[in-house]
Structure 1
Amino acid sequence: MMIPQNEAELAEILASAKAPLNIQGGGTRGFAVAGDTLSTSGLTGIELYEPGSLTLVAKAGTTIAEIETLLDDEGQRLAFEPMDSRGLLATTGAPTIGGAFAANASGPRRIQGGAARDHLLGVRFVDGVGGIIKNGGRVMKNVTGYDLVKLMAGAHGTLGVLTEVSLKVLPKPEAAGTISVSVVDLSAAVAAMSVALGSPYDVSGASYDPAAGLAHVRVEGFAQSVQYRSGQLAQELARFGAVEEQIGAHELWQDIRDVAGFHGQAGDVWRISVKPSDAVVLAPALQAEALQFDWGGGLIWALMPEGSDLRARMGQTGVQGHATLVRSSQKIRAKLGQFAPQPAPLDVISKGLRQQFDPNGVLNSGLMG
């Protein structure tokens, strides 16, 4: 394993690379592509933190735990709620801030605060031929020019290796409240979550657990406001079933974020993004062993029998969306592909981008097409 200690060492490695490399952050991903492993775990440290400006700059290998500890001391947080996938994927290591943005890892709060990429202000990265590229800035107003920042978020290391990220952080709320509704089925759950999300009460989480028969809705903010909004939502959602109000429920939302219900269970895990209303049509057709719904029904986690071609079942329903194979054996991943094939026009664009940033095909080759 190659572990460069600074950006210059990383650039030298990539400039001289003659074969594909497996780009790795904190080692929590649970699989590897072909090639020697190149880890960013040596690129650590918080370069700048200005609580008053709500901005932070860190090297890509800095652990999320270190950043969250620093933010917590100032009453702030990473608002995009990045997932900790170690339990789901049965991996070790430590999630890093670079890995979170490379995967665009976004938790339940995405429906309110946006995805990880929406909190990214600037990046430094090294492309496939060793070129060092900087884009964006260190403050929220300095984001002019070509938006390579958004391009790098979710590229999974296929266009460049992140070395530094600049991001915005937000204050932690004074209080949080969770309204849990006992619902009869998925259709009722989606309807209840849609009512909550369409309300004026600034919902920051909307999830459904079919095993428990409960839809959960979260509100955050000042204590008095949370109390009022929770009460109003409880009244509006009572028509769907019995309602329970909780203060905080941090562990519940952490379990939702990390898909704790699938931890330790055998089978393949898929992550599906669809319109919330389509979840009602799609879910029965999947024939899954277990399901979990987030983002008001727009994000579906499916635990499937090993080797199941979920995309084929999805295609039979006519539902449009994206299905990513998150956990499986290497053999099944090679057969089905981690990411769905792109439509021809998008595939042309993607190949053009990879040719521009990684002409020698050394960065996580084959991962995204």
Structure 2
Amino acid sequence: MTVFLPNTAEEVLETVRWAVSEEAPLEVVGHGSKRGIGQPVQTAHTLDLSKLTGVTLYEPEELVLSARAGTPIAEIEALLREHNQELAFEPMDYGPLFGGEPGRGTLGGLLAANLAGPRRLKAGAARDHVLGVHAVSGRGEGFKSGGRVVKNVTGYDLSKGLAGSWGTLAVATDITMKVLPAAETETTFCIAGLDDAAATQAMAIAMGSSAEVSGAAHLPEGVVGRFIDGGFSGGGQTVLRVEGFGPSVAYRIDLLSRLLGNHGSAETLDEAASRRLWREIRDGHPFADGSPAPVWRVSVTPSRGHELVDAFRRAAGANVYYDWQGGLIWMRMEADPEAEILRKMIAHLGGGHATLVRAPLAIRAATPVFEPQPAPLAALSARLKEQFDPQKILNPGRMDFT
């Protein structure tokens, strides 16, 4: 296997042009922290962007940062912390789920996977914060889209179009992101002992209030002991995060206490414990156990997440917890991913999508890893692929439809 390690955008362009001329498909990676997601890619050559690093622009006053695609997210977040700023969409770190080190994900991978974390409820995902991108298509053509200000888009916004394409359309070389001020502090309000249905109701009340909750999750009894070193007591926990200035946070926590005081015994987590908890919720921590057991990431209507889990458990076993007010369900199976059962139930409950995040290689090869697309959308995806990468040079097959 040949591994190409470009140091510049020009070298990326040269490599892709060579691959096109030789009809030699490329696997595109950064540090490989998400390599286990998607169908196995079988290529003789790898385009490794781990040397294409460095922040190229950072203007804290303008809330804009640009960096090369191979720059670690951890490095970017450390720089932002020095200026009390952050990537507001809270990008998750898939590495530990695959037994890897935390902090290895890159900016290019962030865009390719359209990452988001618990703050997705109010801040969106990576695609909502990307301002511009320089990239190389599968045709071996360099292009740029967007710019360095929020209102700088005309025609098709290709930078957002690349979000979630898992490197199958183009290789991003430099990415510009919007950054935002970080909250002064945070506190998490915790209610003990609710079942999944009652927790869904409590989260809906909290999200519909003026408490400005920035994270809403439910950790059932089967998994709650795996968070913050088993620091919870009293069975399952429904957790609600409030961020901002100290006095405002205190007022809004009191509001939640008055709204939800009759739902169960309550406690609060201080800033340090709260930050740790939401990192662990973000990164699938209970299932980062060193095993290859199948793990799904399921997105459904928040009010129906608990119904899906209840119905699924009547047919198969799974350990679960809920994020995004119940609309994101992390599910860990023991052996069989139960893909057909799960997707039929999702469709029956009004729709959604499921991604098989982790599974042994043989299971990934035999299972539609990403949600199968309806025929019209699949046709559109195929046309988009044809425009950007007609010879299927980039990550061929990773997203099923390619």
TM-score range, shorter chain: over 0.9
1:272 has 2:298 as partner: yes
The answer (yes or no) to whether the contact 1:285–1:314 under 8 Å persists in 2 is: no
Residue 217 (structure 1) shift: 0.3
Task: Give the counterpart of 1:183 among 187, 193, 200.
Answer: 193
Q: Deviations over 1:330-368 (max 9, x none)?
A: 110111121121100000000000000001001111111
Amino acid aligned to 2:280: D
Aligned to 1:44, the other structure's residue is in SS state coil
- Which residue pairs with 1:340 in the alignment? 371
Deviations 1:255-307 (A, max 9, x none): 11111111116410000010011212110233343101100001011001222
Q: TM-score, normalised to structure 1's length?
A: 0.97
* Correspondence 1:260 to 2:260: no
Partner of 2:17: 15
2: distance between equivalents of 1:138 and 1:163? Answer: 15
Aligned length: 369
More off after superposition, 93-102 vs 169-178: 93-102
Distance 2:281 2:163 in 1: 23
Aligned counterparts of 1:217 and 1:37: Cα–Cα separation in 2: 43
Do the aligned partners of 2:135 and 2:173 also contact (CA within 8 Å) in 1? yes
Amino acid at match of 1:110: R
Aligned equivalent of 2:87: 78
Q: 1:292 and 1:50 mapped to 2: Cα distance? A: 38
CA-CA distance at 1:45 after TM superposition: 0.8
1:350–1:80 distance in 2 versus 1, CA, 3 Å: same
Structure 2 residue aligned with 1:27? 32
TM-score by length of 2: 0.89
Does 1:295 pair with 2:297? no
Match of 1:6 among 8, 14, 17: 8
Offset, 1:39: 1.2
Deviations 1:160-210 (A, max 9, x none): 011111111111111111100113311011111111111112111001111
Deviations 1:84-106 (A, max 9, x none): 11211112481111111110110
CA distance in 1, matches of 2:257, 2:396: 50
Correspondence for 1:228 among 251, 258, 273? 251
Give the match for residue 181 of structure 2: 171
Contiguous gaps of at least 5 residues in structure 1? none
Moved more, 263-272 or 341-350: 263-272
Structure 2 gap segments, 5+ residues each: 225-235
Q: Percent sequence identity over matched residues?
A: 46
Q: Could you list the per-position Cα deviations for residues 55-102 of structure 1 after superposition, in whole angstroms to 9, with x for gaps in the alignment?
A: 001111111111111111111111111111121111248111111111
Deviations 1:10-54 (CA, angstroms, capped at 9, x unpaired): 111111211221111221014251112211112111110000010
Superposition pairs of residues 1-369 of structure 1, within 5 angstroms: 1-17=3-19, 18-31=23-36, 32-35=40-43, 36-92=45-101, 94-211=104-221, 212=224, 213-248=236-271, 249-264=274-289, 266=291, 267-287=293-313, 288-316=317-345, 318-319=348-349, 320-368=351-399, 369=401
Question: What one-letter code is carried by the residue in structure 1 that aligns with 2:310?
Answer: P
Counterparts of 1:338 and 1:361 in 2: how far apart (Å)? 19
The amino acid that maps onto 1:19 is A
User: Secondary structure, in 3 states, of the residue corresponding to 2:355?
Assistant: strand
Q: Which amino acid aligns with 1:342?
A: Q
Measure, in 2, the Cα distance between the counterparts of 1:102 and 1:216. Answer: 30
Supply the AA of the counterpart residue of 1:276: P
Change (3 A) 1:19 1:286: farther
